[in-house]
């Protein structure tokens, strides 16, 4: 339970704490949370609409998903706290920005409760809620904010004179999360629990390709081989009556999957652009599929066709439970030819962002599925930011693709109660012990080996290469504009908010920059980085407690704004 209070967040009341209900529904995630007036997060629930593989988020389907689950989630929150809706002192909902059909659900529910029970209602800017939640968790009060999500990519700082969060850099076209989601659709990567998380998992597997390349170099014959199969300088080449062949040596691997692929790198001042990324992802993957398709139809490497279910047409376009489950299994079979390989089920490997076991419920009226997280509450007590007190961990080399960071079967899984699940860095004694163990002959029967690159198919290797190259380019641009923002504002603090901020690849690159610039970096895990109702309730109550004229939060002033910008909000509580 989070029980910390921020400075300037209102006075502590003498009477019993009041309850504040927060409703988040700007995109495919539906969050319901209840906090009290002491800024304690009591309950925080979240449901994520998951579309089929290769499909995006259709607004009418998100609307049907939120409409189906929102009342049920509100009832569950009230039941857990053993209170009634009349005990709620304030209702906070997402006013914008977001998808219009998704925003309307929380908007209509708030209007209904306000009219029926005479409860004050306040609309909250979604971007401001992410920022305030990041400040609340990290305790960095004057930072540069890197806001990266599926709909926004912004560099923000607080202007004390204007009392507003000013955008000093942003994307010129689409958001970074949208780039990753589109790439996942092109590569036919699963959307459960999120496409960005699965792209990150694939990018971490690049060390397998490096190990395979080193193994091939170690086992390759000296001087290469000719097309005829005889080694260079062999006995057949020295015989006088043997005709010389001038064929070029045949490469063992015509495609080097460890090479960094080219992607556009576009920066203008502190603005960035992601135009052209869809084209290059399609180009690299389509060319590869075309090359594989020439080997023959119906062969082992031929792309499989997705089965069509007849049950969906009988339900008026919707799918029944059995058909939905079968369709999802077929989609996973298309992406992973071997279910036992290290990529299949990547969300269950030893990664840093440990998601709970998915509770996927599928309804006939809603296409796709719903991912449910019952109690997304993590304690921030004792949490230290990276670079706190000008101290940087010496043993943490901030590696991006090393085996010790991203795969080690001997390491313990991080506990569910940890405030921030990051790769556990090994101490010098553990590293020395591992080196001495590697020098001795290993007992293969008693020790579990990490998966090797040889168990991956060519399609999976190409996906790993594309995901790694994609993340390398887009995150490098984010690091560069963040460095420019630090120089522009002379700030020594940076926090990363938004769903993409959970990415460990981005966090490690930020750590490298923090060491060079001697600054503090504040991170959060997926509990509060991803859209949630707690940030809406927290930010709404901050504004409500610091406003003199509370009559403006009545029924007549409830509205939504799809293009509600960050710098449109007057910040009265700072």
Q: Which residues sit in the known binding site for substrate?
A: 181, 196, 200, 503
Distance between CA atoms of residues 150 and 373, nearest Å: 20
Closest C-alpha among 31, 43, 41, 44 to residue 4: 41
Q: Are 209 and 513 in contact (CB under 8 A)?
A: no
What distance, in Å, lies between the first and last C-alpha atoms of the chain?
A: 24
- The number of C-alpha atoms within 13 Å of 122 and in the hemisphere containing its C-beta is 26
Cα–Cα distance for residue pair 294/35, rounded to 1 Å: 59
Residue with tokens 């305790």: 139
22/41 Cα distance (integer angstroms): 11
Q: Please enumerate, by residue number, every residue annotated as part of a binding site for a divalent metal cation.
A: 126, 130, 147, 531
- Give the Cα-Cα-Cα angle 331, 335, 341 (nearest 5 degrees): 125
User: Using an 8 Å Cβ cutoff, are 537 and 133 in contact?
Assistant: no
Asked if residues 514 and 494 have their Cβ atoms less than 8 Å apart, the reply is: yes
In the annotated binding site, the residues are: 126, 130, 147, 181, 196, 200, 503, 531
User: What Å distances lie between residue 285 and 83, 335, 389, CA to CA?
Assistant: 54, 13, 46
Q: 540 with 20: CB under 8 angstroms?
A: yes
Measured in residues, the chain has a length of 574
Greatest Cα pair distance in the chain = 105
């Amino acid at each position: 339970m989070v029980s910390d209070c921020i400075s300037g967040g209102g006075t502590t009341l003498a009477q019993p704490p009041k309850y504040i209900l927060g409703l988040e529904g700007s995109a495919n995630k539906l969050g319901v949370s209840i906090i009290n007036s002491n800024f304690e997060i009591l309950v925080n629930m979240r449901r994520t609409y998951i579309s089929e593989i290769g499909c995006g988020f259709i607004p009418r389907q998100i609307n049907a998903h939120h409409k189906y689950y929102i009342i049920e989630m509100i009832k569950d929150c009230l039941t857990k706290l053993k209170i009634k809706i009349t005990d709620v002192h304030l209702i906070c909902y997402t006013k914008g920005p977001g998808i219009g059909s998704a925003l309307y659900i929380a908007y209509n529910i708030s209007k209904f409760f306000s009219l029926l029970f005479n409860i004050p209602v306040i609309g909250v800017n979604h971007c401001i809620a992410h920022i305030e939640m990041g400040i609340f968790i990290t305790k960095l009060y004057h930072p540069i904010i890197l806001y990266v999500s599926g709909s926004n990519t912004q560099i923000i700082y607080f202007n004390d004179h204007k009392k507003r969060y000013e955008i000093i850099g942003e994307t010129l076209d689409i958001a970074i999360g949208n780039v990753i989601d589109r790439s996942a659709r092109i590569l036919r990567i699963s959307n459960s629990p999120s496409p960005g998380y699965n792209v990150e998992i694939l990018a971490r597997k690049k060390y397998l390709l490096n190990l395979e390349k080193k193994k091939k170099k170690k086992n390759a014959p000296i001087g290469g081989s000719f097309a005829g199969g005889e080694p260079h300088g062999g006995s057949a080449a020295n015989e006088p009556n043997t005709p010389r062949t001038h064929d070029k040596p045949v490469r063992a691997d015509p495609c080097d999957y460890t090479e960094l692929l080219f992607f556009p790198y576009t920066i203008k001042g502190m603005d960035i652009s992601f135009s052209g990324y869809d084209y290059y992802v399609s180009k690299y993957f389509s060319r590869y599929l075309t090359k594989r398709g020439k080997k023959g139809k119906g062969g082992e490497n031929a792309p499989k066709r997705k089965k069509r279910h007849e049950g969906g047409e009988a339900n008026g376009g919707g799918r029944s439970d059995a058909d939905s489950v079968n369709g999802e299994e077929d989609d996973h079979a298309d992406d992973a030819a071997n279910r036992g390989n290290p990529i299949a089920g990547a969300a269950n490997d030893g990664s840093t962002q440990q998601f709970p076991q998915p509770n996927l419920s599928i309804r006939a009226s809603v296409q796709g599925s719903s991912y449910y997280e019952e109690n997304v509450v993590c304690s921030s007590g004792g949490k230290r930011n990276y670079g706190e007190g000008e101290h940087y961990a010496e043993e943490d080399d901030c590696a991006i693709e090393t085996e010790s960071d991203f795969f080690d079967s001997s390491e313990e899984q991080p506990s569910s109660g940890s405030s921030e699940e990051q790769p556990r860095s090994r101490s010098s004694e553990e590293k020395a012990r591992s080196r001495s163990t590697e020098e001795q002959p290993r007992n293969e029967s008693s020790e579990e080996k990490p998966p090797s690159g040889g168990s991956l198919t060519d399609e999976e290797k190409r996906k790993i290469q594309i995901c790694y190259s994609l993340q390398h380019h887009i995150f490098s641009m984010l690091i560069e504009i963040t460095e420019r923002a630090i120089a522009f504002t002379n700030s020594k603090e940076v926090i990363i908010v938004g769903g993409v901020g959970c990415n460990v690849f981005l966090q490690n690159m930020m750590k490298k920059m923090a060491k060079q610039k001697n600054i503090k970096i504040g991170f959060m895990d997926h509990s509060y980085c991803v859209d949630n109702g707690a940030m809406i309730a927290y930010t709404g109550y901050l504004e409500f407690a610091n406003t003199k004229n509370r009559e403006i939060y009545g029924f007549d002033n409830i509205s939504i704004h799809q293009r509600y910008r960050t710098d449109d909000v007057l910040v009265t509580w700072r």
